[in-house]
Structures are given as structure tokens and as C-alpha cells.
Amino acid sequence: MKMKVTSLLLLTLFASVPLLAKTPATHLNIAYHTEDKAQALDVYLAKSDKPTPVVVFIHGGGWRGGSKNAVPPYLLDAVAEGWTSVVSVEYRFTDVATHPAQVNDCARAIQFVRSKASEWNLDPERVAVTGGSAGAHLSLWLALHDDFANPESDDPVERESSRVTCAIGYAGPTDWSLLEEIDHKHPAYRQLLDYEPGTPAAEMDAEKKASVSPITFVSKDDPPILIVHGDSDAIVPVRHALDLDKAMRSSGANSELYLVEGGRHDVAGARHPDVTEKSVAFLKEHLFANESEGKEIVILVGPEKHAPGTHEVAAGGRLMAHSLANATNLKDVKTRVLYEWPKDRSILENTATVVCIGDQFPGERIDGSDAVMSDLAKMTKRGCGLVCVHYATGLGVDDVEEDGEHPLLHWTGGYFATRCNHHQSVARIFEATVTPAAPANHPISRGWTTFEIRDEPYTRNWFGRDGLADGAVALASVEFPPDNPTTEIVAWAIERPDGGRGAGITMPHFYRNWERPELRKFLFNTIAWTAGLNIPKNGVETAAPDLASFNPVSIDPKPRLKQKAGKAAK
């Protein structure tokens, strides 16, 4: 993904600059080793009743400057908000010791933090690492390298793991072999390996260059990595980011590349709002993966007007709730089915995502729709997810503004327009080939591939006059109509600026299609993703449902009986 940024003050080469942020709850300064006075930590502890994740920050400065005081403001804000603690690491500079001293120090720091987890109310299983420029190099190196833990050591700190849950690198160098292909004028690259500035790259030891390069250590079991880089960076050429991302994807690892259009080396400071929003969303996704304690997935069932055996929205809602709660590779997922909007608003406070099923969007169709829409606006603003299934993606002419504006467009990224003045979507039953359309590394894409299905995937859906918005992606597509096919988006998702996620999936029309494992995995991946849960490598696994057990009117399609005037149909 690319974005445009406004002009920012170019940072000192490989450096970070401290900025104002909210005051953290508790601040400690402590040594993590005794070999050198530089081996110290700043610890910012969030106020929390339960152990928090921790983000380890490693500053930049060309491995011979900078300061652990230069913590990005968004991280200190996160501490003040209480969702993570932060540790900022100082390390030996190259005028004292050269590589691998810096990575050894940072690995020791992570091990030390884990050794203090109980004392500092930290969760040792949720440790992220991040940094800019030189700090990004060290962060990525540690994330990709094997564990430093030595179970046989007499030093209890050395027995701790140095592995991390995830990592973010801002404008970091990743491959020293590129010095032979691309001009790198900054002397720090060579000084890190104890060479004089200006030493020809071909005269530098190949093993040394490999040992300092994060790309050397890429493997399929690496943690998720977010690589942020400016495409106009003259200090660390963007090739470093592109090559690392390609290597990780090729190995099967989870890599996400975020290119800043026009961005220079100032990207290392992680200061632009779009960069910080992306970073917060990434950290929350991976540090809070599968944390469902106290949160629920709510299935909201709206009115239904279709024939038995088709939508079966009440049975479909019950089936979704049961399948998610009993998924074989999701832990402790709680679900609740609502057939009306709750008067007790406390039910909504711990809702991780709302899944809508019904004939047109239930927020506009169930009793008290004004209150429902108001509550949904508050819930999505705090980051609650929202998913619409089949006709629940639908809005009518009375729901939307003349230009098609409606909150659902922003909450989920799009909708099915039913006889609207600004646009008309298409509903037709046909033999569809459903093809994944999201990037291969998107969590929703895990575990399913192209499948054939006879259903009613809606086409020509409305995503706004400019198409999919920033942060939105197509999840699946079909070729339609058969006689003159074009590629049509039939499922989509969005990561919103509020940190929440939304999605629309325009299937299934037929109740019987809930038996299709590909469709279930696709749909349950999507729901779990909007709830902030980690999607297992092979997707969300659910058992084939006993369709009759969810009390549908009919399993197979039947014509709906018409009422005669003055009499109810028998």
C-alpha cells in the first residue's frame, strides 16, 4: 500500500527525535547488564489489572548515536491508554564495540524484560520489538534470528527467550550485499562492521555482511513483520524493504509492506498519522491475538422476507454462533445471538464485533433503528468490528443520501445498493467461481482457495464514487455475467482509521450452502479478523454443521406461501 505524506523535517541520518506525548503511568530506569554503562532500559509501565503486552523500542542513530529517550509518541500514548507497556533500549555504540555487540545487547534486553515480567505486570508471551533506521535494523535482525535462550546457563536472564511476537521496522537497512549494487554513502554501514568509511563493498568480508543482514535469517517460522519505508529514501534505499518483503513471502512467513509515497528517511521517526495508525492496528492485531476474554461476537438477526430454505437468517445466525464458539482452533470464543436490539447497553460494551444477517441491513430494519444506528456509531468509533452477511449488506433508496452516503460505507467499506437512485447493484443466482482477491498474506485469505458454488453473490456493489476507500481491500471476486464477464467484487473488508475493522460478504443465499467448508472458512476467517482474533495458519476450522439442528423453516428452497386477502395462508 502507498500513501502520500506532507513534507516533514528530515531527521538526522539514522536518528530519532523525541516528541511530546501523553505522560505514561510509571517510568523506571534500570540496567539490564553490567558490562557497559550504555546497557540500560527506560521502562514505561501501563496501569492495568492484568499483565500487559510490552513493546521493546530500539532507537536509531547510525549505531553510534541517538538516545533511548526518543520513544515515538504513539507508543507513549499507548502506555497512557493502558493497552501496552513500553521498554526503550540503550546499547553500546560502534565507537565502543562493533557488530554483533549491538544485537547481543538488544537480545539481552528482551531476555531481561521477560525475567521481570511478573514484577512489572507484563505478559512474557506478548513481546513486540520496533525501531527506526538503525533501530529498525536491530529490531528486524532480532525478530528473524534464532532464539538466544540458553536453558543450561547459570544466568537466569540468559535462560529467557529472545523471540518476539511481532516486529515493526521503519526505514531499516536489511541487506548489506546491496552495498555492492546501490550507492550507500553513509559511513555507518561500514563502521558497524569495523571498516573505515569509504571501504569498497567488494573488499568487505562476505560472511560479515551476511551476519549483519536481517534478510539472511528469514524462515517460514518468523513472527509477523510490518516493514514501513519511504519510496524516496536516499539514506536507506527502498530496495532493502522490497527485498526483505519478497524473501519473507517466498519463505511463507507473514510480511506486510507499507510504502510511503514520496517518503524519505524521515519515515524512520514513525510520526505521520497514517503510519502510526497502521502501526497501532498491527500491534493490536498480533499482541491481542485470540484474546477473547470478556468479549463477545454478537450475531444480530434482522427481519426476513425470503422463501424457506433460502436466507433462513435466524437459523443462519444460530449456526454462525455455534460454529464460532466450537471452532477447533480458536480459543474461548464467546458468542451471543440477538433478535432485537438490547435495552441493556452493557451487553454491547464488551462486543468485539457485530455480525449482521437479515433482509437488508438490520441497523435500518429492526425496531428502534435510530437508537441502533446511534449505538453502532459509538461502538465502531471505539474500534468494534462489523460484518454484514448476504442481504444484510443491502441498503435501499430510503436509507441513503442522494449521493449514496451512509455510515455502512465507512463501517464495512461498501454495500449492496437496492434500487437506489445513485446506483443499482445486481442480484442473480448463478454457478459462480469464487476467487480470493485479497493479498496472499492477508489473514482472511488463510486456508481457502477458489471454489465453485451455486448461489447469489451480489455484483456491482457500491464502494463510493472513487471505488474502494483507503484501508479497504477486495476479499473475493467472481466473473459475471456469464455471457460477457467482468471481474466483480463479492466480498470486501476495511481497516478503519478508528482501529476497527469491517467487512461485507454477499453469500450465502441458500441455507444449504452453509455445508460448504470453503465458504464457512472464508466467512469465519472474516468474522474472527474483525473481532481482532488471530487467524490460524490454515484458517478457522469448523465441523460440518447439522443444518436441521438450528431450526430452519426449511433446509432446501421452497416457495413462500402467499396470503389471501383477509386470511392467513395455511
For 456-467, the pLDDT digits (tens) are 999 999 999 999
The closest alpha carbon to 516, from 446, 453, 432, 431, belongs to 453
CATH of the domain spanning 296-550, picked from 3.40.50.1820, 3.40.50.1970, 3.40.50.300, 3.40.50.880: 3.40.50.880
**How does pLDDT run across 113-152, given as a tens digit for each residue?**
999 999 999 999 899 999 999 999 999 999 999 999 998 9
Cell triple for 416 = 449492496
Q: What's the pLDDT at 499?
A: 83
The reply to whether domains 2-287 and 296-550 share a CATH topology is yes
Q: Choose the weakest-confidence range: 64-68, 139-143, 250-254, 263-267.
A: 250-254
Q: Which residues pair with 495 in a beta bridge?
A: 501
**Average model confidence (pLDDT) for the chain?**
91
Instruction: Locate all alpha helices (DSSP H) within 473-559, ordered by sequence.
Output: 517-530
Edge-to-edge order in the sheet of strand 225-230: 2-4, 255-261, 225-230, 166-170, 122-132, 52-58, 85-89, 40-45, 26-31
Domain residue spans in the chain?
A: 2-287, 296-550
**How does pLDDT run across 373-406, given as a tens digit for each residue?**
999 999 999 999 999 999 999 999 999 999 999 9
**How does pLDDT run across 81-105, given as a tens digit for each residue?**
999 999 999 999 999 999 999 999 9
Rounded to whole angstroms, the Cα distance separating 554 from 540 reads: 27
Residue 290 has pLDDT above 70, yes or no: no
Average confidence (pLDDT) over 516-532: 96
Residue 267 has pLDDT above 70, yes or no: yes
SS3 call for 226: strand
Residue 12 has pLDDT above 80, yes or no: no
C-alpha distance from residue 560 to each of 311, 389, 567 (Å)? 12, 22, 15
Rounded to whole angstroms, the Cα distance separating 560 from 307 reads: 5
The closest alpha carbon to 457, from 405, 522, 554, belongs to 522
**φ and ψ at 520, to 5 degrees?**
-60, -45
CATH 3.30.830.10 fits 2-287, yes or no: no
| Ramachandran class of 358: left when φ > 0, alpha when ψ lies in -120 to 50, beta otherwise | left
Rounded to whole angstroms, the Cα distance separating 282 from 271 reads: 16
Q: What's the pLDDT at 8?
A: 31
Q: Which residues pair with 255 in a beta bridge?
A: 225
Cell triple for 204 = 568487505
Average confidence (pLDDT) over 437-459: 93
Q: At 570, is the pLDDT very low, low, confident or very high (cuts 50, 70, 90)?
A: very low
